[in-house]
Amino acid sequence: MIDWQAWLAEPATSDERVVARASAADAELALLAVLADDGERMRRCPVLATAIFGNPRASMTIANRALVTCARIGVTPPDLPGFEELVADIEADAARVDPATRDRAFAELLVVATSDDAAETERESTSAPAPAPAPAAPPPAPGLRRRAVIDFTKLKLYEKVRLATLGNANCRQTLLRDPNRMVALAAIRSPQITDGEVAKAAGNRALGEEVIRYIANRKELVKLYAVKLALVGNPKCALAVTLRLLPTLHLEDIKQLARSKNIPGALAIAAKKLAAARGPQ
């Protein structure tokens, strides 16, 4: 068995190397458990907590401990919006739930949330033993069975945020609409999200303004034409942003916007002027 404390103490073990190991799909649980309590390293490298929280190999207890450690030493991990509220939810729940029970429940959720075929999962959950989870997901406890449906209304905040980060497209689609901005932002920031999902979210008028603002402020997302077009047609996107993006659209799309009754008047007027300047109606 590897002595992880000794490995961490080696001069060759840099913080970058530790973060890379903590992020790995085959990260050792024993190492993640040690790192979750390593306040000194977290102080130097807060992204380590983000790596642990975002690794499906880490149990819910280990992932939560990493965030609590950061809160205790007064550092904020990057890419975790609403960190203080998240930690408050973790600490409020800690005394009421047995860690083993929490870990087992989340492992079960994660099997469903990372399944590629929800319908197949539903059939298997009622008629056959569950197959092995996706490679990145932690193995379920012995005897664990897949549940066909996740009741997101019964989940804790920290569970929703983690599922938004680790779950499949169906999971993200649900959690993008969550009334808590932290959950919705975790879903749109998920490393698993596709360009198509982002474009769909950019044009969704039912999503919170925080999600639309996040997309609009990410240069790597706005450079995608489908995302740009969706943002311009979404009234929840800031007018200053849509007016800036409008001239970068194709003429036919500008003409359609000029005829639209579902965008702000100022944007429609700008689209008409731009269409007229570029060519005949």
> Can you give 209-261 as a three-state secondary structure string?
HHHHHHHHCCHHHHCCHHHHHHHHCCCCCCHHHHHHHHHHCCHHHHHHHHHCC
From the CB of residue 251, how many other CB atoms can be counted at a distance below 10 Å? 11
62 shares a domain with 12? yes
**pTM summary value:** 0.82
Kindly state whether residues 41 and 135 are assigned to the same domain: no
Q: Check whether residue 115 and residue 214 sit in a common domain.
A: yes
Per-residue model confidence (pLDDT) at position 128 = 34
Query: Are residues 215 and 153 part of one domain?
Result: yes
Q: What is the pLDDT of residue 127?
A: 32
User: Domain check: are 108 and 208 in the same one?
Assistant: yes
The residue among 113, 117, 116, 63 whose CA lies nearest residue 90 is 63
> Residue 260 domain-assigned?
no
Which residue, 80, 113, 134, sits at the end of a domain?
A: 80
Looking at the structure, tell me whether residues 69 and 141 fall in a common domain.
Answer: no
- Classify 174 in phi/psi space as left (phi over 0), alpha (psi -120 to 50) or beta: alpha
Averaged pLDDT of the chain: 88
Same domain? For 222 and 118 the reply is: yes
Radius of gyration of the chain (CA): 22
* Domain endpoint, select from 31, 65, 80: 80
Domain that includes residue 209, residue range: 103-237
Residues 41 and 124 both lie in one domain: no
The answer as to whether 270 is a domain residue is no
pLDDT at res. 130: 39
Say which amino acid occupies 170.
Answer: N
Question: Quick check: is 76 in a domain?
Answer: yes
Q: Is residue 91, in this structure, part of any structural domain at all?
A: no
Predicted local confidence at residue 134, as pLDDT? 43
**Are 66 and 121 found together in one domain?**
no
278, part of any domain:
no
The verdict on residue 96 lying in a domain is: no
Look at residues 34, 49, 80 and tell me which one is the last residue of a structural domain: 80
pLDDT of residue 142: 47
Tally of domains within the chain = 2
Look at the alpha carbons of 79, 81, 84, 85 in this order and tell me if their dihedral is positive or negative: negative
pLDDT of the residue at 229: 97
Same domain, 121 and 195: yes
Maximum Cα–Cα distance for the chain, whole Å? Answer: 75
pLDDT for the residue 178 = 96
Q: Which residues of the chain have pLDDT under 50?
A: 117-137, 140-147, 281
Nearest-5° Cα angle at 272, 270 to 277: 95
150 and 36 in one domain? no
Neighbours of 18 (CB within 10 A): 20
Percent of residues, the chain, with pLDDT higher than 70: 88
Are 110 and 228 members of one domain?
Answer: yes
